Amino acid sequence: MELLQNLAIGFDAALTPLNLLYCLGGVFLGTLIGVLPGLGPVATIAMLLPATFALPPVSSLIMLAGIYYGAQYGGSTTAILINLPGESSSVITALDGYAMARKGRAGVALSTAALGSFFAGTVATFLLAVFAPPLAEIALKFGPAEYFSLMVLGLVASVVLAHGSLLKAIGMIVIGLLFGMVGTDVNSGVPRFTFDTPELADGIGFVAVAMGMFGLGEIIKNLEDESTRAVFVKNVTGLMPTKQDFKDMVAPILRGTALGSALGILPGGGAMLSSFAAYSLEKKMSKNSANFGKGAIQGVAAPESANNAGAQTSFIPMLTLGIPSNPVMALMIGAMIIQGIQPGPAVMTEQPALFWGIIASMWIGNFFLIVLNLPLIGMWVRMLSIPYHILFPGILVFCAIGVYSLNNTAFDVYLMAGFGVLGYIFAKLECEPAPMLLGFILGPMMEEYLRRAMTLSRGDPTVFFTRPISATMLVLAALALAVVLMPAIRKKREEAFQEE
């Protein structure tokens, strides 16, 4: 009964004309940036953060959430039609989706992706509504020591689940923590790492970091290697799957939804990990695994269901604990902070319309996506012919205007440019920027909880090990790090990264 009352609050907030408009705009923009390779939800949300200043908190977060799960839909369109995933989570969909398109079954592949994503999104949103409140209640019992240990676990998990070199991932976390320490110390009032620059007294702006690393960094990388977009299918027909197609896709959609929902909650998980895991599971369970990569409908249904489920359940730790499970959730936390909202379990009790409005909007957004996407396939196909060198000047101008409008200072624009160059350098060195962003977001919060815990314990560091919940999370973090440091695991991890 309480769940129904909460959902009534959510739908009351989400069904206002303004919020419906922003939900529609978010999912449409999400699909668009998913369709256009080189643009992703991280870069787009980073660029739109300044715009959220002028919007009500509920509207802005509904729009940003719509961009994220909308991009999972859009990414499949390019993966199927031109074998070029618009979103990283759609990489695996291209294997069988493009093969289906070459066999004249592009319409069936696109409708399979849309139906799987719609079902998975609906189920994952229900799970979010059911499990978020009890998790938030548990989180309310957390003290500073538990929160510090939880953030340590989150950072370690993001390192464990990152691709490539473990040492590079740890290094990126440390760099993020160091950037997060720039500014005036709250307790002593002493400037730290400001190099006598007054503009850095309040710390490095989150928007400048996000726009630079994920906006400008992506622009430079894509200009260096602009892919040729040869659209294989000019006109998409035959959208309705056959009776056998429905029979073949039901089980993969159910398994993909279940697996994606579980993996989406993990720090560092989300849509990409879910889609790869679902494809691997389906291939192992299939009686005709040799068909995978040659146009198996299961190879489209499973990963597309998993990535949408993973995208939506990744909101659970963000909304209930204030812990980002991936870079997009880190940006969502940044948007909440910009709006003056402290992320964490108190959001559900202090701002129920915001909390439940976001959840209710996901059902509405998934409905919008299924109605919008299939009729607009022809438009998406035409948009794929736009060269990237024509798109990037507009993106660049939008980034500069957005970051300048924060404090009306050119210093923020220079800062964004510096982080753009840094993002490109990290990409060339094969260092993922995501762990750095998580470290940048969580660093100041970790420092605050560390100091609180030490103050309450009168300087006794054993408080982190004598409190059961805190000790359990630290042990889990240590075990995860120990497992991934094993030589066999490290070798397999780096080989997988090189194959990608």
Could you read off the pLDDT tens digit of each residue along the chain, which spans 500 residues?
677 888 888 889 888 999 999 999 888 888 887 776 556 677 777 777 777 777 888 888 899 888 888 877 777 777 777 666 656 667 678 778 888 887 878 778 888 888 888 888 888 888 888 888 887 777 777 788 888 888 888 778 767 656 667 788 888 889 988 998 888 887 777 888 888 888 888 888 777 887 788 767 767 776 776 554 455 555 555 667 788 888 888 889 999 898 888 877 765 556 666 777 788 788 778 777 777 777 788 888 888 888 888 888 888 888 887 777 777 787 888 888 878 887 777 787 788 888 888 888 988 988 888 777 767 766 766 666 666 677 677 777 777 877 777 677 888 888 888 988 888 888 888 887 777 877 887 788 888 888 889 988 888 888 899 888 889 889 988 887 787 777 655 565 555 545 44
Task: Retrieve residue 444's tokens.
Answer: 């100041």
CA distances from residue 87 to 106, 224, 438 in whole angstroms, order as listed? 18, 18, 20
- Distant-in-sequence, close-in-space partners of 175: CB < 8 Å, separation ≥ 6: 436, 439
Cα dihedral across residues 15, 335, 122, 124: positive or negative: negative
Task: Retrieve residue 231's tokens.
Answer: 């659209």
pLDDT, position 460: 87
pLDDT, position 21: 92
Residue labelled with tokens 């870079």: 327
Integer Cα distance of 43 and 424 in angstroms: 14
CA distances from residue 150 to 6, 171, 309, 483 in whole angstroms, order as listed? 27, 20, 24, 19
Q: Give the torsion through C-alpha atoms of 24, 28, 30, 32, to 10 deg.
A: -170
Residues 34-59 as b/e (b if ≥16 CB within 10 A, e otherwise) read bbbbbbbbbbbbbbbbbebeebbbbb
| Residues 26/72, Cβ–Cβ less than 8 Å | no
Region of 36 on the Ramachandran plot (φ > 0 left; ψ -120 to 50 alpha; else beta)? beta
CA distances from residue 211 to 36, 43, 407, 421, 469 in whole angstroms, order as listed? 18, 7, 15, 11, 36
Name 191's bridge partners: 184
Continuous segment of H or E residues that includes residue 41? helix 41-48
CB-facing half-sphere around the CA of 455: CA atoms within 13 A: 9
pLDDT, position 89: 66
Name 183's bridge partners: 192
**Residue 432 CB coordination number (10 Å):** 21
**Residue 439 burial (C-beta neighbours within 10 Å; 0-12, 13-18, 19+):** buried
Q: Assign 107 to helix, strand or coil.
A: helix
DSSP code for 50 = G
- Distant-in-sequence, close-in-space partners of 48: CB < 8 Å, separation ≥ 6: 63, 64, 67, 402
* Number of domains, the chain: 1
Domain range for 57: 2-499
pLDDT, position 126: 86
Integer Cα distance of 21 and 16 in angstroms: 9
- Distant-in-sequence, close-in-space partners of 28: CB < 8 Å, separation ≥ 6: 70, 368, 372
Residues 441-480 as b/e (b if ≥16 CB within 10 A, e otherwise) read bbbbbbbebbeebbeebeeeeebbeebeebbebbeebeeb
